[in-house]
Amino acid sequence: MTETEHSTRPHRRRRDAPAAVRAIDYAHLANRLPRAEVFSADRIAAIHETALRVLEELGIRVLLPEARDLYRAAGAPVDEDSQMVRIGRDIVAEALRTVPARFTLHGGAPGRDIEIGGDALFFTAGAGCPNITDLDRGRRPGTMADFTDFIKVQHGFDILPKLTAWVEPQDVPIAVRHLETTRAQLLLSDKVPFVFARGQGQVEDCFAMIRIARGLDEASFRDRPSTLTIINTNSPRQIDKPMARGIIDFALWGQVCVVSPFCLAGAMAPITIAGALTLSHAECLAGIVLGQLARPGAPMMYGAFSSNVDMRSGAPAFGTPEHIKTNIAAGQLARHVGMPWRVSTGSASNAPDVQGAQETLLGLWGALLAGGNMVTHAAGWLEGGLTISQEKFITDIEALQVVAEVMQPVACGPDELGFKAIAEVQPGGHFFAARQTMERYATAFYEPFVWDWSNFGQWAEAGSRTATERARDIWHQRLAAYAPPPVDPGMRENLDDFEARRRSEGGAPPLD
């Protein structure tokens, strides 16, 4: 029997096998892989040093006056005309001293908590997409119905312990959109919700709703990280008003702020990997400083989302060698400053095809080698985030579950070593009926939910459907099978009342 002759061998089929029940906790993972390195320790120190020089010699433009006040009060020279802030290395060092190395992000039920820091690892779905696509309806602007469907489907996948705002519900007015999306997250799931930093009005509304849903008063909310936002600086060297406001508000309320410059090498950042990271690191540190100045000890994550652009068009690219290497080096920098960190995969493909799968998986490979604690845009993202695909969401989850399984330890005791099993089976025989097999077969292996291992004849007879076509059905099955978490009627009423009041007040327009 050779590698390609297996199908000619009559396998004893095990059609009576029960559905495997594997007790793997996909929501709480540890990255057991070694960390890769792109740069030697002295080069990482050089990038850190250069970033400090950027902050103290060149400075960063901060558009929000209150943020400039915070920097100034800490001793940073501020030029109000140019809005430039120069941040000395002592200020950076103090922020890195007060920012926590690990913390817990709390969900609506005990099993929904997420540990952040160390080797802890979790994945989040693609987010922030204006458009949605699926095989039936094609590409279209996102709606609130799409947003709601997604929360329901995501709720059922433990591998995604934090909700994401995967699609912009463009049928909801912008001033009340945050109310609707936060309400949907809190009522349809007990997982950690996501909040956009689009101005103090919206953030305060969302925080109030989370307090209602979680039964927290203001004081206990401040000590219980219960939501997370992503802050993209305006590379190069700029922090706009909503971003600065978000950093301050999240810090003041003790909620998690991830400072993630979106530094695309060759576009908003230097074309070299080291240079893009120098800028990304400097901007990230500026954001961390702002949060720690607002409230020392506030839970924050280091963020890096650097890749390269297509130098012919300026379009962002993902899963590229440069993306992977930048991720790995960003991990070195995050560890250099001792912070938990966010990394990202992604895809620039226009379809849920092999390109999309490859880009996302190669980016994921880099993210895991890099040791990121939170891997974002890990399912469904297309077109560099302009569109989310229902089918790609499903197929990407298969890969994430495989990764989660790889992170589980493997038993290697006397029975697993297999001497008795090997002695039991004659040369040229098979192990299907061995005692060791019979004791383990129902739960020994990961069972995929998208991958189809039937033979070609069976597969052709069943319609020759690709993984993406099967994923379409799986999406609808998962949506139909949605089981809501228990929701206290009083809580729901309070949430409804809050939303009604804020709607009647006109909601909160985003900060420009």
- Applying the rule CB under 8 A, the residues between 224 and 243 that interact with a copy of itself are 230, 232, 234-238
- Binds a copy of itself (CB under 8 A): choice among 76, 87, 114, 129: 129
C-alpha–C-alpha distance, residues 485 and 483, integer Å: 7
Strand order in the sheet with 387-389: 138-141, 131-134, 387-389, 381-382
- Binds a copy of itself (CB under 8 A): choice among 21, 23, 219, 411: 411
Using CB atoms within 10 Å of the CB of residue 139, give its burial: 0 to 12 exposed, 13 to 18 middle, 19+ buried.
middle
- Evaluate whether 85 touches 65 at the Cβ level (below 8 Å): no
At 221, is the secondary structure helix, strand, or coil?
Answer: helix
C-alpha–C-alpha distance, residues 502 and 200, integer Å: 14
Is 467 an interacting residue with respect to a copy of itself (CB under 8 A)?
yes
For 173, residues 6+ apart whose C-beta sits below 8 A from its C-beta are 507
C-alpha–C-alpha distance, residues 139 and 17, integer Å: 41
* Window contacting a copy of itself (CB under 8 A); options: 251-259, 287-295, 310-318, 495-503: 310-318
Is 135 an interacting residue with respect to a copy of itself (CB under 8 A)?
no
- Binds a copy of itself (CB under 8 A): choice among 100, 310, 479, 485: 310
- Report the site for a copy of itself in 256-275 (rule: CB under 8 A): 260, 262, 264-275
Q: Which residues of 196-229 are buried (b: 16+ CB within 10 A; e: fewer)?
A: bbbbbbbbebbbbbbbbbbebeeeebbebbbbbb
* Encoded tokens for 66: 């209150």
Is 143 an interacting residue with respect to a copy of itself (CB under 8 A)?
no
- Evaluate whether 82 touches 91 at the Cβ level (below 8 Å): no
- Binds a copy of itself (CB under 8 A): choice among 254, 331, 385, 507: 385
Is 50 an interacting residue with respect to a copy of itself (CB under 8 A)?
yes
Is 489 an interacting residue with respect to a copy of itself (CB under 8 A)?
no
- Report the site for a copy of itself in 200-229 (rule: CB under 8 A): none
Is 56 an interacting residue with respect to a copy of itself (CB under 8 A)?
no
Question: CB 91 → a copy of itself: shortest distance, Å?
Answer: 19
Q: What are phi and psi of 120, to 5 degrees?
A: -60, 140
* Window contacting a copy of itself (CB under 8 A); options: 209-217, 219-227, 433-441, 484-492: 433-441
- Binds a copy of itself (CB under 8 A): choice among 65, 77, 173, 429: 429
Q: Report which DSSP code applies to 351.
A: S
Is 416 an interacting residue with respect to a copy of itself (CB under 8 A)?
yes
Identify which of residues 365 and 482 has a Cβ nearer to a copy of itself in the complex: 365
Using CB atoms within 10 Å of the CB of residue 442, give its burial: 0 to 12 exposed, 13 to 18 middle, 19+ buried.
middle
* Window contacting a copy of itself (CB under 8 A); options: 13-21, 64-72, 95-103, 181-189: 13-21
- Binds a copy of itself (CB under 8 A): choice among 350, 491, 503, 510: 350
C-alpha–C-alpha distance, residues 75 and 501, integer Å: 42
C-alpha–C-alpha distance, residues 216 and 195, integer Å: 17
Question: CB 214 → a copy of itself: shortest distance, Å?
Answer: 27
Is 137 an interacting residue with respect to a copy of itself (CB under 8 A)?
no
Identify which of residues 182 and 326 has a Cβ nearer to a copy of itself in the complex: 326
Is 36 an interacting residue with respect to a copy of itself (CB under 8 A)?
yes
Is 312 an interacting residue with respect to a copy of itself (CB under 8 A)?
yes
- Evaluate whether 132 touches 390 at the Cβ level (below 8 Å): yes
- Evaluate whether 277 touches 326 at the Cβ level (below 8 Å): yes
- How many residues in the shown chain lie near a copy of itself by CB under 8 A? 156
Is 192 an interacting residue with respect to a copy of itself (CB under 8 A)?
no
Identify which of residues 113 and 344 has a Cβ nearer to a copy of itself in the complex: 344
Is 422 an interacting residue with respect to a copy of itself (CB under 8 A)?
yes
Q: Report which DSSP code applies to 57.
A: I
Identify which of residues 225 and 366 has a Cβ nearer to a copy of itself in the complex: 366
* Window contacting a copy of itself (CB under 8 A); options: 94-102, 142-150, 415-423, 504-512: 415-423
